[in-house]
A = this chain, B = another copy of it.
Amino acid sequence: MAHLVRTGISLESDLLERFDCAIHKKGYKNRSEAIRDLVRDFVVTEDVEENRMVVGTLTMVYDHHRPKLSERLIEAQHHAEHKVLAATHVHLDHHNCLEVIIMRGRSADVRHLADRILSLRGVKHGKLVLTTPGKNL
């Protein structure tokens, strides 16, 4: 694991005061951790833009009574089996299920797979999150 280094930034006292106040509301215990989170998010955004390896989680809500939908969802995932790491299923009510599919791959490939799944009939709503595999971060 990487060793820690220290870097300094200069900024206006008013800005710093407002930042401290804003991060406190979000639950941060100290300024350094909040800035690290901003720095990491910047780097992850670049990974996504540059089509590097990312981890994606696709959240979707669907009606499991829709004929053949469950088969199609499983088929789509197995067809891309090297990309799908895991899936979690929650029963929301008699009709509605939430499923989270966890994927790994280049950002464009993960996005493409998510588009395929979200366009299936019976999938009511969904969103993809792209994040980092965590190395060097």
Contact = CB atoms under 8 A, between A and B. Distances in A.
A110 interface: no
B92 A134 contact: yes
Interface in A83-125: 85-86, 88, 90, 92-93, 95-98, 100, 102, 115-116, 118-121, 123-125
A42 B98 CA distance: 19
A17 B115 CA distance: 20
A7 B7 contact: no
Contact of A98 (B13, B97, B102, B137): B102
A8 to B, nearest CB: 5
Which among A31, A33, A119 has the greatest number of chain B C-beta atoms within 10 A? A119
Given A11-B39, A22-B46, A35-B9, A61 B55 contact: yes
Q: When A and B form their complex, which 9 residue pairs have the shortest distance between CB atoms, in order from nearest?
A: A96-B134, A27-B119, A2-B12, A14-B136, A38-B38, A2-B14, A88-B88, A22-B46, A127-B129
